[in-house]
């Protein structure tokens, strides 16, 4: 079954304790991305990756790191979490195509990781 | 810069009645538009997208959306609502950057509540 998986699904941690949220896809997609969802703000992109070893900042990258050592995995790292990073996090993937007006490909989302930083 | 607006935080509709969830967009060039649904404690599920061609796009679970270029709208519709349609709906537009980022720009979401 084609899917995007995230772990853990729920996490409660304390300020400053490093954590990693894993994301894996089995569709051989080049493109992967992390979003955070906050009430009244919709989803905002944190980081994205167009292929292995190629990553770049999205709209709200502060306090986050990512890596893309393998095509299927795109972990999100919070080196020193703070309470303002309490949120619902989604990983997404899609094929990478380009066109004049952008990519026509559909992005597929993981089930989400709900993070609470105390 | 591209943007998407969902003017209603919540839409209430009785089961069996038609439903509409509104979305307007602001883009330069041709928009690529998407609708996603989020059920409680679940991820976002793709419903449908408009890329080009017929302005009426049909998607999953009986949903459809009408692209209206003159009104810059992409409203989501369903002829007969089900209680199980109750969820959070997001409209999104693709960043118009020639595919450099594949980024989606999301609206703030509309909560659909279908009463039995």
- B21-70 pLDDT tens trace: 999 999 888 889 999 999 987 889 999 999 888 899 999 999 999 999 99
Query: Touching check for B90 and chain A: CB below 8 Å?
Result: yes
B57 DSSP assignment: E
> Nearest residue of B to residue A110 by CA position?
B43
CB A62 within 8 A of CB A68: no
Question: pLDDT digit string (tens) for A72-108?
Answer: 999 999 999 999 999 999 999 998 776 666 677 889 9
Can you point out the beta strands (E) in chain A?
A: 4-7, 10-13, 19-25, 31-38, 42-51, 54-57, 65-66, 76-78, 87-94, 108-109, 113-117
pLDDT over threshold 70, residue A26: yes
The answer to whether B20 and B82 have CB atoms below 8 angstroms apart is no
- Dist CA A102 CA A88 (whole Å): 27
Task: Identify the pLDDT of residue B85.
Answer: 96
User: Which residues of chain A have a CB within 8 Å of the CB of B46?
Assistant: 106-108
B26–chain A nearest CA distance, Å: 14
Q: Dihedral of the CA atoms B83, B84, B85, B89 (nearest 10)?
A: 120
Task: Provide DSSP, B59-93.
Answer: -GGG-EEEEETTTTEEEEEESS--GGG-EEEEEEE
- Residue A43 CA neighbour count, 13 Å, CB half: 29
Please check whether residue B35 touches A, CB under 8 A.
no
- Tell me which residue in B36, B44, B97 faces A102 most closely, judged by beta carbons: B97
| Mean pLDDT to the nearest integer, A15-27 | 97
- Is the pLDDT assigned to residue B82 strictly greater than 90? yes
- Among residues B66, B24, B46, the alpha carbon closest in space to that of A105 is found at B46
Question: Any chain A CB within 8 A of the CB of B111?
Answer: no
Output the pLDDT for position B40: 84
Chain B residues inside the 8 Å CB shell of A35: 106
Whole-angstrom Cα Rg for chain B: 14
Whether the Cβ atoms of residue B23 and residue B73 lie closer than 8 Å to each other:
yes
Q: Looking at residues B76-88, what average pLDDT do you find? A: 96
Instruction: Report the percent of chain A where pLDDT is more than 70.
Output: 96
d(CA A101, CA A23): 28
More confident: B99 or B49? B49
CB contact under 8 A, A4 and B42: no
Determine contact: B101 vs chain A, CB below 8 A: yes
CA distance B107 to chain A (A): 6
C-alpha span between B3 and B14 (Å, rounded)? 31
Say what the pLDDT of residue B107 is. 94
Q: B53 and chain A: CB distance < 8 Å anywhere? A: no
Contact A43, A62 (CB under 8 A): no
B71, exposed or middle or buried, with CB in 10 Å at 0-12, 13-18, 19+? Answer: exposed
Question: What is the predicted pLDDT for the residue at A99?
Answer: 67
Tally the C-alpha atoms within 13 A of residue A28's C-alpha that lie toward its C-beta: 0
* Residue B31 with chain A: CB contacts under 8 Å: 101
The pLDDT score that the predictor gives to residue B13 is: 98
Q: What share of chain A is helix, strand, coil (3-state, %, to 5)?
A: 5, 50, 50
């Amino acid at each position: 079954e084609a899917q995007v998986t995230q772990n853990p699904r729920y996490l409660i941690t304390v300020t400053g304790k490093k954590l990693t949220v894993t994301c894996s896809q089995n569709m051989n997609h080049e493109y992967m991305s992390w979003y955070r969802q906050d009430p009244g703000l919709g989803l905002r992109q944190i980081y994205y990756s167009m292929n292995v070893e190629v990553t770049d900042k999205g709209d709200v990258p502060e306090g986050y790191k990512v890596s893309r050592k393998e095509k299927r995995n795109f972990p999100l790292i919070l080196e020193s979490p703070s309470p303002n990073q309490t949120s619902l996090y989604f990983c997404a993937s899609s094929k990478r195509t380009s066109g004049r007006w952008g990519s026509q490909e559909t992005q597929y989302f993981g089930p989400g990781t709900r993070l609470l930083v105390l | 810069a591209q943007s998407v607006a969902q003017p209603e935080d919540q839409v209430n509709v009785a089961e069996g009645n038609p439903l509409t969830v509104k979305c307007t967009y602001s883009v330069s060039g041709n928009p690529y538009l998407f609708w996603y649904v989020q059920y409680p404690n679940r991820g976002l599920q793709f419903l449908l997208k408009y890329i080009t061609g017929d302005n009426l796009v049909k998607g999953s679970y009986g949903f459809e959306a009408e692209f209206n270029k003159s009104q810059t709208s992409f409203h989501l519709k369903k002829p007969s609502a089900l209680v199980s349609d109750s969820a959070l709906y997001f409209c999104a537009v693709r960043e118009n950057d020639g595919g450099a980022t594949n980024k989606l720009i999301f609206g703030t979401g509309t909560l659909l509540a279908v009463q039995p």
